[in-house]
């Protein structure tokens, strides 16, 4: 009986190497030219040969064509196991202290969600939501991310949050805690920087490129550029002992230039940068904000460059190597992967400045993503793990690493897949395997 190439066997090539990848087991092998030829025409192989036996053992060739659906069935089984194993606690809270900001960036998704009025979180709401989060965590190691708008415009709430977490730690309500903040850096002072460093905060500051570029995109409400103020804030922070970290947002306009901008930051800006991060694209009514292939190419370029400079990089798709290395599929629907681990309380939750809780960390001002105290944990399991992937995902090279479509994408588009997301994950997978 002639051999057949498995529907889960993929031959991926780049100038660096050619590899075979089993998208079901997540195993990969560098291929010699005769192996490439064998996979192109497995029917010509001598079934008794050592080469045929090696390819059979790897699952790259099979005696009979597989029925479609094996990869999706495996993924759904893993999701069910995790849903049963996990209690559904939340261990990460992104809490928006205000939707107000001293800046007016045209692409800001937060401001787009609040076109008429930007609410501020009052102390009563803040303490109620923090107490709920701490109580439900039940001894977990938790992370609080202060968010906005510009969170440092509500400085008193940040200080109160620190007090509550330290009280919770002393009482044994949490085992550990970490506090992070995404800020534009323009309202940083030496006193605030010293306090934040003393209290072990992690900060990441938003930039979009060199001054001329940044000041076209990131402006104050009077239209003036923000680069100098933000750079001063970053320097104050690092002088106080903080770690220099910058966050960039990809748009259709700046995407082709982002790798060049990152090089400028690390080589010419003079800023003390140890971490670079790139925001994941947000789903729109028709797809992603950026094309998938273009985004993957830019991310991989930046990632490779940062590794060469021993600079930490965080961005969409950077979880893929861990799945290939461990052979464990990505069961979470989120495009960023299940980066928070497999513990009982590894899910994140968002609380808006007006007190609504959301299962989605970005598209929160929508009743379809919001949740209540009574159903938060059950809906958390459903949001991240419930529901199968599309049947058309089965033979995809990234079927076990994509996790998609995400629940938000399903709400926005129904059963239709996002070409941008599909292109992104396929391209990233190929780049990791052949260039990484």
Q: Are 323 and 315 in contact (CB under 8 A)?
A: no
Q: Phi first, then psi: what are they for 409, rounded to 5°? A: -60, -40
Q: pLDDT at position 183, please?
A: 96
Q: Phi first, then psi: what are they for 248, rounded to 5°? A: -120, 150
> Helix count (H) and strand count (E) of the chain?
15, 15
Q: Are 299 and 315 in contact (CB under 8 A)?
A: yes
Residue 183 bridge partners (DSSP) = 205
Give residue limits of the domains in the chain.
1-66, 80-385
Q: Are 228 and 218 in contact (CB under 8 A)?
A: no
Q: pLDDT at position 419, please?
A: 86
Per-residue pLDDT of the chain (436 residues; tens, 9 = 90+): 789 999 999 999 999 899 999 999 999 999 999 999 999 999 999 999 999 999 999 999 999 888 889 998 888 888 888 777 766 678 899 999 998 888 788 777 666 666 666 899 999 999 999 999 999 888 889 999 999 899 999 999 999 999 999 999 999 999 999 999 999 999 999 999 999 999 999 999 999 999 999 998 888 888 899 999 999 999 999 999 999 999 998 888 788 999 999 999 999 999 999 999 998 887 777 778 788 999 999 999 999 999 999 999 999 999 899 899 999 888 877 766 654 454 544 678 999 999 999 988 877 677 788 887 767 777 777 777 777 677 888 999 999 988 777 788 888 887 777 788 899 999 999 999 999 7
Q: Are 375 and 368 in contact (CB under 8 A)?
A: no
What topology does CATH give the domain 80-385?
TIM Barrel (3.20.20)
Q: pLDDT at position 207, please?
A: 95
Q: Are 17 and 430 in contact (CB under 8 A)?
A: no
Q: Are 234 and 186 in contact (CB under 8 A)?
A: no
Q: What is the 3 state secondary structure string of the chain?
A: CCCEECCCEEEEECCCCEEEEECCCCEEEECCHHHHHHHHCHHHCCCCCHHHHHHHHCCCEECCCCCCCHHHHHHHHHHHHHHHHCCCCEEEEEEECECCCCECCCCCHHHHHCCCCCCECCHHHHHHHHHHHHHHHCCCEEEEEEECCCHHHHHHHHHHHHHHHHHHHHCCCCCEEEEEEEECCCCCCHHHHHHHHHCCEEEEEECCCCHHHHHHHCEECCCCECHHHHHHHHHHHHHCCCCCEEEECCCCCCHHHHHHHHHHHHHCCCCCCCEEEECCCCECCCCECCCHHHHHHHHHHHHHHHHHCCCEEECCCCCHHHHHHHCCCCCCCCCCCCCCCCCCCCEEEEECCCCCEECCCCCCCCCCCEECCCCHHHHHHHHHHCCCCCHHHCCCCCCCCCCCCCHHHHHHHCCCCCHHHHHHHHHHHHHHHHHC
| Of the candidates 394, 398, 413, 418, the residue with the CA atom closest to the CA atom of residue 337 | 398
Q: pLDDT at position 338, please?
A: 58
Contacts of 18 (CB under 8 A, 6+ apart): 11, 12, 30, 31, 36, 434
Q: pLDDT at position 340, please?
A: 42
Residue 84 bridge partners (DSSP) = none
| Tens digit of each residue's pLDDT (9 = 90 or more) over 349-399 | 999 999 999 988 877 677 788 887 767 777 777 777 777 677 888 999 999
Q: pLDDT at position 339, please?
A: 44
Q: Are 45 and 53 in contact (CB under 8 A)?
A: no
Structure tokens at 399: 């079927």
Q: pLDDT at position 10, please?
A: 96
């Amino acid at each position: 009986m002639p051999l057949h190439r498995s529907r889960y066997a993929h031959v991926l090539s780049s100038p660096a190497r050619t590899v075979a990848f089993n998208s079901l087991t997540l195993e990969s092998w560098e291929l010699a030219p005769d192996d490439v030829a064998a996979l192109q025409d497995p029917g010509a192989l001598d079934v008794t040969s050592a080469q045929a036996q090696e390819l059979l053992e790897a699952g790259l060739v099979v005696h009979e064509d597989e029925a479609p659906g094996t990869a999706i069935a495996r993924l759904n089984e893993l999701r069910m196991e995790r849903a049963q194993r996990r209690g559904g606690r939340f261990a990460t809270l992104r809490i928006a202290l205000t939707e107000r900001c001293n800046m007016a960036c045209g692409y800001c998704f937060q401001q787009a969600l609040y076109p008429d009025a930007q609410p501020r979180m009052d102390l009563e709401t803040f303490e109620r939501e923090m107490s709920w989060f701490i109580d439900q965590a039940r001894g977990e190691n938790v992370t609080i991310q202060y968010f906005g708008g510009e969170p440092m415009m509500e400085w008193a709430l940040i200080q109160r949050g620190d007090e509550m977490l330290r009280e919770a730690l002393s009482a044994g309500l949490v085992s550990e805690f970490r506090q992070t903040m995404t800020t534009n850096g323009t309202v940083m002072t030496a006193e605030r920087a010293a306090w934040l460093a003393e209290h072990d905060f992690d900060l990441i500051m938003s930039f979009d490129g060199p001054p001329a570029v940044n000041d076209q995109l990131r402006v104050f409400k009077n239209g003036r550029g923000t680069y100098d103020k933000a750079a001063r804030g970053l320097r104050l922070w690092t002088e106080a002992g903080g770690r220099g970290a910058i966050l960039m947002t990809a748009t259709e306009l700046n995407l082709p230039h982002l790798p060049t901008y990152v090089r400028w930051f690390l080589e010419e800006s003079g800023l003390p940068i140890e971490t670079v991060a790139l925001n994941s694209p947000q789903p729109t009514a028709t797809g992603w904000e950026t094309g998938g292939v273009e985004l993957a190419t830019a991310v991989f370029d930046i990632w490779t460059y940062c590794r060469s400079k021993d600079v930490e990089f965080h961005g969409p798709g950077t979880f893929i190597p861990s799945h290939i290395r461990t052979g464990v599929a990505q069961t979470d629907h989120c495009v960023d992967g299940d980066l928070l681990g497999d513990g009982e309380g590894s899910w994140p939750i968002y609380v808006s400045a007006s007190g609504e809780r959301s299962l989605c960390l970005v598209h929160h001002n929508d009743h379809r993503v919001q949740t209540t105290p009574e159903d938060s944990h059950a809906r958390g399991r459903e949001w991240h793990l419930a529901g199968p992937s599309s049947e058309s995902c089965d033979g995809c090279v990234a079927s076990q690493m994509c996790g998609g479509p995400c629940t938000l994408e399903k709400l926005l588009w129904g059963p239709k897949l996002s070409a941008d997301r599909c292109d992104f994950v396929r391209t990233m997978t190929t780049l990791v395997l052949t260039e990484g």
